[in-house]
Amino acid sequence: MDYGPCDELPSSYKILVAGGFGVGKTTLVSSISEIRPLITEEILTGASIGVDNTQGVEAKNTTTVALDFGRITIDEQLVLYLFGTPGQQRFLFVWDELAYGAIGAIIVADTRRLAESFASIDYFEQRGTPFLVAVNCFEGARRYDCDEIKQALNLDPAIPVCQFDARSRASVKSVLIGLVQHLMARAEEN
């Protein structure tokens, strides 16, 4: 887009993509971003042994150490900036900086390690940041319906839960649409 001096700039909004280690946050940002995403993946080192829980993702050999960043233009008047958070507890100090100014969050979950979602849920509930839970459907993982996942995570009934494939641009797009609809519904209630 090329803006002249009198053109109105589009509204832009910040959305966080959070969740535990290895749930698909980087993949989500990479599959939807219209620009080459900024990815801060580094190789796991011996320092992570006994610190990072790799159960269920033993083949994973990299991790986000700062953030992932991508952009998606919805239309000429709306641009979303996606900020993916690091998943390990030892990088949680980064979240406060990344969360500043965010209008909402997508919490990516993995049914093989659903308990990894609680830290993200607690983080956004404590701050009053609206979010939805998006369950990344990994091949070979047991499938649960959204109500079962909502109950397992002890979520407020108003929190949306959806299932998606982080590798699919169309699937990630439906998650973003779900979050925007959730944000709009909350705004109408207030």
Q: Compute the distance between CA of residue 177 and CA of residue 166 in angstroms, rounded to an integer.
A: 14
pLDDT at 139: 82
Dihedral sign (CA 133, 152, 188, 125): negative
- Tens-level pLDDT at each residue, the chain (190 residues): 555 555 666 688 999 999 988 899 999 999 999 999 776 666 655 655 555 555 555 555 555 555 788 999 988 888 999 999 887 666 677 788 889 999 999 999 998 889 989 999 999 999 999 999 999 998 888 889 999 999 999 999 999 999 999 999 999 999 999 999 999 998 888 7
Q: Compute the distance between CA of residue 139 and CA of residue 142 in angstroms, rounded to an integer.
A: 9
Q: Compute the distance between CA of residue 164 and CA of residue 173 in angstroms, rounded to an integer.
A: 10
Q: How far is CA 105 from CA 49, 55, 58, 98, 134, in A?
A: 29, 25, 27, 11, 10
DSSP string, 100-157: TTEEEEEEEE-GGGGGGGHHHHHHHHHHT--EEEEEE--TTSPP--HHHHHHHTT--T
pTM of the shown model: 0.83
